[in-house]
Amino acid sequence: EVQLLESGGGLVQPGGSLRLSCAASGFTFSTSAMSWVRQAPGKGLEWVSAISATGGSTYYADSMKGRFTISRDNSKNTLYLQMSSLRADDTAVYYCALPGSGYPIKPLDYWGQGTLVTVSS
Protein backbone atom coordinates (compact mmCIF):
# COMPACT_ATOMS: atom_id res chain seq x y z
CA GLU A 1 0.00 0.00 0.00
CA VAL A 2 1.36 3.41 -0.98
CA GLN A 3 1.96 5.64 2.02
CA LEU A 4 3.16 9.23 1.97
CA LEU A 5 3.76 10.88 5.33
CA GLU A 6 4.58 14.58 5.41
CA SER A 7 6.27 16.27 8.34
CA GLY A 8 8.08 19.46 9.21
CA GLY A 9 5.21 21.92 9.11
CA GLY A 10 4.61 24.48 11.80
CA LEU A 11 4.64 28.16 12.64
CA VAL A 12 7.38 30.26 11.08
CA GLN A 13 7.95 34.01 10.98
CA PRO A 14 7.80 35.98 7.72
CA GLY A 15 11.18 35.82 6.01
CA GLY A 16 12.00 32.54 7.73
CA SER A 17 12.81 29.11 6.38
CA LEU A 18 11.38 25.64 6.82
CA ARG A 19 12.11 22.19 5.42
CA LEU A 20 9.30 19.77 4.78
CA SER A 21 9.84 16.03 4.48
CA CYS A 22 7.75 13.28 2.95
CA ALA A 23 8.51 9.70 3.95
CA ALA A 24 7.41 7.27 1.26
CA SER A 25 6.66 3.56 1.45
CA GLY A 26 4.76 0.86 -0.40
CA PHE A 27 6.31 1.53 -3.82
CA THR A 28 9.71 1.84 -5.47
CA PHE A 29 10.61 5.37 -4.51
CA SER A 30 13.85 5.48 -6.49
CA THR A 31 12.02 5.01 -9.81
CA SER A 32 9.17 7.40 -9.07
CA ALA A 33 8.83 11.11 -9.76
CA MET A 34 7.26 13.12 -6.94
CA SER A 35 5.43 16.40 -6.48
CA TRP A 36 4.42 18.95 -3.86
CA VAL A 37 1.02 20.63 -3.99
CA ARG A 38 -0.30 23.19 -1.52
CA GLN A 39 -3.69 24.45 -0.44
CA ALA A 40 -4.20 27.70 1.44
CA PRO A 41 -6.95 27.62 4.09
CA GLY A 42 -10.34 27.56 2.38
CA LYS A 43 -8.76 27.88 -1.06
CA GLY A 44 -8.01 25.68 -4.06
CA LEU A 45 -5.08 23.49 -4.99
CA GLU A 46 -1.80 24.97 -6.19
CA TRP A 47 0.99 22.85 -7.66
CA VAL A 48 4.33 23.78 -6.14
CA SER A 49 7.08 21.62 -7.57
CA ALA A 50 8.03 18.26 -9.04
CA ILE A 51 11.19 16.19 -9.27
CA SER A 52 12.23 13.30 -11.47
CA ALA A 53 13.06 9.87 -10.08
CA THR A 54 16.81 10.50 -10.04
CA GLY A 55 16.51 14.09 -8.89
CA GLY A 56 18.19 15.25 -12.07
CA SER A 57 15.21 17.28 -13.25
CA THR A 58 13.19 19.69 -11.15
CA TYR A 59 10.17 21.83 -11.94
CA TYR A 60 8.63 24.77 -10.10
CA ALA A 61 5.61 27.02 -10.19
CA ASP A 62 6.73 30.51 -11.14
CA SER A 63 5.76 32.01 -7.79
CA MET A 64 7.99 29.54 -5.95
CA LYS A 65 11.05 29.65 -8.17
CA GLY A 66 14.12 30.90 -6.34
CA ARG A 67 12.52 30.52 -2.89
CA PHE A 68 11.67 26.81 -2.78
CA THR A 69 13.95 23.87 -3.54
CA ILE A 70 12.74 20.34 -4.07
CA SER A 71 15.11 17.44 -3.48
CA ARG A 72 15.09 13.78 -2.59
CA ASP A 73 17.17 11.12 -0.88
CA ASN A 74 16.47 7.81 -2.57
CA SER A 75 18.49 5.93 0.06
CA LYS A 76 16.03 7.16 2.69
CA ASN A 77 12.87 7.06 0.54
CA THR A 78 12.30 10.68 1.44
CA LEU A 79 11.24 13.77 -0.50
CA TYR A 80 12.03 17.28 0.73
CA LEU A 81 10.89 20.82 0.15
CA GLN A 82 13.20 23.55 1.41
CA MET A 83 11.29 26.80 1.71
CA SER A 84 12.91 30.18 2.32
CA SER A 85 11.90 33.85 2.36
CA LEU A 86 8.50 32.71 3.50
CA ARG A 87 5.55 35.06 3.23
CA ALA A 88 2.09 35.10 4.77
CA ASP A 89 0.61 33.88 1.49
CA ASP A 90 2.72 30.71 1.72
CA THR A 91 0.47 29.64 4.59
CA ALA A 92 -1.09 26.38 3.44
CA VAL A 93 -1.35 22.66 3.84
CA TYR A 94 1.48 21.14 1.83
CA TYR A 95 0.80 17.77 0.25
CA CYS A 96 3.32 15.30 -1.07
CA ALA A 97 1.96 13.48 -4.13
CA LEU A 98 2.97 10.60 -6.39
CA PRO A 99 2.28 10.50 -10.12
CA GLY A 100 1.23 7.00 -11.06
CA SER A 101 3.19 7.01 -14.29
CA GLY A 102 6.63 7.63 -12.86
CA TYR A 103 7.09 10.90 -14.74
CA PRO A 104 7.10 14.33 -13.06
CA ILE A 105 4.47 16.22 -15.04
CA LYS A 106 1.63 13.72 -14.83
CA PRO A 107 -1.62 13.17 -12.88
CA LEU A 108 -1.18 12.69 -9.16
CA ASP A 109 -2.49 9.27 -8.19
CA TYR A 110 -1.52 9.18 -4.52
CA TRP A 111 -1.47 11.92 -1.92
CA GLY A 112 -0.30 12.25 1.66
CA GLN A 113 -2.49 13.82 4.33
CA GLY A 114 -0.54 17.05 4.28
CA THR A 115 1.39 19.19 6.74
CA LEU A 116 0.30 22.69 7.73
CA VAL A 117 2.70 25.59 7.34
CA THR A 118 1.69 28.84 8.98
CA VAL A 119 3.69 31.99 8.24
CA SER A 120 2.93 34.62 10.84
CA SER A 121 4.63 36.92 13.31
Partner 1 sequence: EIVLTQSPGTLSLSPGERATLSCRASQSVSSNDLAWYQQKPGQAPRLLIYGASSRVTGIPDRFSGSGSGTDFTLTISRLEPEDFAVYYCQQYGKSPLTFGPGTKVDIK
Q: Tell me: does residue 67 bind partner 1 (CB under 8 A).
A: no
Count Cβ atoms within 10 A of the Cβ of residue 59 and give its class: 0-12 exposed, 13-18 middle, 19 or more buried.
middle
Q: Residues 33-52 vs partner 1: string with x where CB under 8 A?
A: --x-x------xxxx--x--
Pick the binder of partner 1 from 2, 5, 23, 108 (CB under 8 A): 108
SS3 88: helix
Q: Tell me: does residue 59 bind partner 1 (CB under 8 A).
A: yes
Q: Tell me: does residue 114 bind partner 1 (CB under 8 A).
A: yes
Q: Tell me: does residue 68 bind partner 1 (CB under 8 A).
A: no
Contact residues: partner 1, CB under 8 A: 35, 37, 44-47, 50, 59-62, 95, 100, 105-109, 111-114
